[in-house]
Amino acid sequence: MQNPVFIPGPTNMPEYLRRAVDIPTLDHRSSAFAEMLAPAMAGVRAVLKAATSEVFLFPSTGTGGWEVAISNTLSPGDQVLAARHGMFSHRWIDLCQRHGLDVEIVEAPWGAGLPADRYEAILTADKSHRIKAVLATHNETATGVVSDIAAVRRALDAAGHPALLLVDGVSSIGSMDFRFDEWGIDIAVTGSQKGFMLPPGLAIVAFSPRAMAATESARLPRCFFDIRDMAKTNAAGLYPYTPPVGLIHGLKLASDALLAEGLDAVFARHTRIASGVRAAASAWGLSLCAQSPDLYSQTVSAIRTPAGFNATEIVTRAARVYDTAFGTGLGELAGKVFRFGHLGQMSDLMALSGLSVLEMCMADLGLPIRLGSGVAAAQEIYRATAERTLQRAA
C-alpha cells in the first residue's frame, strides 16, 4: 500500500482528511456534533454553488444518493427521462426501473455526451407533462465524458417543461465546476470518496426548494432514505439514526480546504493534471474514449487501446507487477479502455509516476510505445504551467 492509486475513485486521501475522519467516539446527540454538522452542510452548499438548496448527508454511497433522489420525489409509475451513454448512467436507469418508474431512455454512444437536443425534443413533445424527472450524468466515470448540464436546463426551459432536473455529480463535484443554482438543478448527488477526498460512506445530496416540495406528494416507499425525517432531525443538530460522525467531520474539513484553495484554483489544478495525462495518451498514439475535446473529463481519462489488444491486461499487470491500481473498462468498454483517475488528491509528481508505470506495462505487453514518451509530453505541460500556478496561489 505504498503507491498512490489511479482509480477514478475512491481517490487518494490527504492525511489531514484521514485524521479528520478518524476521531474518537463522540456523543452524536451532543452540541459538539451539531457544531460539525451545520458547517459540513454549509461547505457542501458552497462547493456545489447551491445557496438555495438543502443538503443531506446519508450514511450510504452515491448509489444510495440516487435512491434518495428518486424515492423522495417520485411515485410508482412516474415517467423519467434519462440518457444511457456509460455504465453509471445505465445503473441509475436500472435503479429507477427497479423502483417501478417508467424510464424513457435516450441511447447515446459510450463516449458521447448527454444529447440535450434529443431531451428537448422529447420534453417538447410531452405536452401533458407525464415526465416528472429528467436524469443527467454530469461526468460519466466509465467513459471520461463530461456533459453540459446547462444545456439540459435550457432544453427544459425551451420546452417549458416542469420536470425536476436530477444530476449525478458523483465524479465531478469538488474537482470540476458545478453550478447547482445557475444550472437550475433540482437534486445533485455525490459521494464522500471522490472530489471530497474522504473514505466512502456518505451519500451527499442537495435538494432545491422545488425538489423539497415534491417530497410531500412522492409515494415511493422510503424510510432509511426519507429526507423528511432527515430534515426534521438535522434542524435540531440530530439524526434519525446513528450518524457517521467521523465522515461528517471530514466533510467539514474537506469543504473548508476546497474553499480555502478557491474553487477556480481547484478546478484549474484538475484541468492541468488531466491535460498532462491526455498529452501522454496522445504521445503514445492512443485516443480517448471521449469523442471530442469539449467532452474531456478533468477527473478521469478513459484511454482506448488498439483493436485486438485487451486493455484490461495493462490494469492487471500494473497491479500485479508494479503494485499500482488503475481502472478497467466497464460494460461495453471492457477490454477496450483503461482508466486513469486524476480526481481528488493528485500532484504533478503523482501523475507522472502513474504514467511511468503505464508505459512499463504497455511496453511489457508489446504495445509499440516509446518509454518516457508519455512522461515527456506530460512534463512539458506541467513545466509550462507549474510556475504560473504557484504565482496565482501567492
Q: If binding is defined by CB under 8 A, does position 276 make contact with a copy of itself?
A: no
Q: If binding is defined by CB under 8 A, does position 29 make contact with a copy of itself?
A: yes
**Region binding a copy of itself by CB under 8 A among candidate stretches 14-22, 41-49, 122-130, 262-270:** 14-22
DSSP secondary structure of 329-369: P-GGGTTTEEEEE--SS--HHHHHHHHHHHHHHHHHTT---
**Region binding a copy of itself by CB under 8 A among candidate stretches 116-124, 127-135, 204-212, 313-321:** 313-321
User: Smallest gap, in angstroms, from Cβ of residue 253 to a copy of itself?
Assistant: 13
* Choice between 12 and 124, CB closer to a copy of itself: 12
Q: Under rule CB under 8 A, which residues in 198-257 are in contact with a copy of itself?
A: 199-201, 220-226, 240-247
By CB under 8 A, name the one of 130, 232, 320, 392 that touches a copy of itself. 320
Q: Under rule CB under 8 A, which residues in 69-98 are in contact with a copy of itself?
A: 76, 94-95, 98
Q: Under rule CB under 8 A, which residues in 351-370 are in contact with a copy of itself?
A: 352-354, 356-357, 359-360, 363-364, 370
Label residue 74 exposed, middle or buried (CB < 10 Å: 0-12, 13-18, 19+). Answer: buried
Distance CA 123, CA 82 (A): 11
Q: If binding is defined by CB under 8 A, does position 5 make contact with a copy of itself?
A: yes
* Choice between 54 and 348, CB closer to a copy of itself: 348
Which amino acid, residue 146? Answer: V
Strand partners, 317: none
Q: If binding is defined by CB under 8 A, does position 139 make contact with a copy of itself?
A: no
Retrieve residue 256's grid coordinates: 473548508
Query: Backbone phi, then psi, for 68, in 5-degree steps?
Result: -55, -45
Pairing, β 202-207 against β 145-146: unpaired
User: Smallest gap, in angstroms, from Cβ of residue 202 to a copy of itself?
Assistant: 9
Cβ–Cβ under 8 Å, residues 196 and 204: yes
By CB under 8 A, name the one of 45, 84, 90, 99 that touches a copy of itself. 99
For residue 280, the surrounding DSSP H or E stretch is helix 263-283
Q: If binding is defined by CB under 8 A, does position 182 make contact with a copy of itself?
A: no
Query: Is residue 339 marked as binding?
Result: yes
Strand partners, 107: 84
Q: If binding is defined by CB under 8 A, does position 60 make contact with a copy of itself?
A: yes
Strand partners, 303: 288, 338
Q: If binding is defined by CB under 8 A, does position 282 make contact with a copy of itself?
A: no
* Choice between 81 and 369, CB closer to a copy of itself: 369
Q: If binding is defined by CB under 8 A, does position 11 make contact with a copy of itself?
A: yes
C-alpha distances in angstroms, 60 versus 57, 184, 213, 277, 327? 8, 25, 23, 31, 22
User: Smallest gap, in angstroms, from Cβ of residue 9 to a copy of itself?
Assistant: 7
Residue 196's Cα: distance from chain center in Å? 10
For residue 190, the surrounding DSSP H or E stretch is strand 187-191
Q: If binding is defined by CB under 8 A, does position 111 make contact with a copy of itself?
A: no
Q: If binding is defined by CB under 8 A, does position 321 make contact with a copy of itself?
A: yes
Which residue in the block uniquely carries the three cell numbers 478521469? 300
User: Smallest gap, in angstroms, from Cβ of residue 218 to a copy of itself?
Assistant: 12
Strand partners, 136: 167
* Choice between 76 and 162, CB closer to a copy of itself: 76
Max Cα-Cα span within the chain: 62
Known binding residues are 339
Q: Binding site for substrate: what residues are annotated?
A: 339
